[in-house]
Amino acid sequence: MAQTPQRGGGGNDRNRRDNRNAPVEGPDSDIVEKLVHINRVAATVKGGRRFSFAALMVVGDGKGRVGFGHGKAREVPEAIRKATEEAKKTMIRVPLRENRTLHHDGAGRWGAGKIMMRAAPPGTGVIAGGPMRAVLETLGVQDVVGKSTGSSNPYNMIRATFEALKVQSSPRQVASKRGKKVADLMGRRNDGASAPEAAPEAQEA
Q: What is the pLDDT of residues 16-46, one digit of tens each?
A: 434 333 333 334 568 889 999 999 989 888 8
pLDDT at 2: 52
What single string gives the DSSP state of each residue in 61-86?
-SSSEEEEEEEEESSHHHHHHHHHHH
Q: Is the pTM of this model over 0.75?
A: no
Which run of H or E residues covers position 116? Answer: strand 113-119
193: pLDDT confidence band, cut at 50, 70 and 90? Answer: low
pLDDT at 83: 95
Q: What is the pLDDT of residues 109-144, one digit of tens each?
A: 998 999 999 999 998 899 998 899 999 999 989 999
Q: What is the pLDDT of residues 46-93, one digit of tens each?
A: 888 999 999 999 999 988 899 999 999 999 999 999 999 999 998 999
Count the Cβ atoms, other than its own, within 10 Å of residue 135.
28
Among 81-90, 146-155, 194-203, the range scoring the smallest mean pLDDT is: 194-203
Amino acid at 171: P
pLDDT at 111: 86
Q: How far apart are CA 34 and CA 88, in angstroms?
A: 12
How many residues can be counted in the chain?
Answer: 205
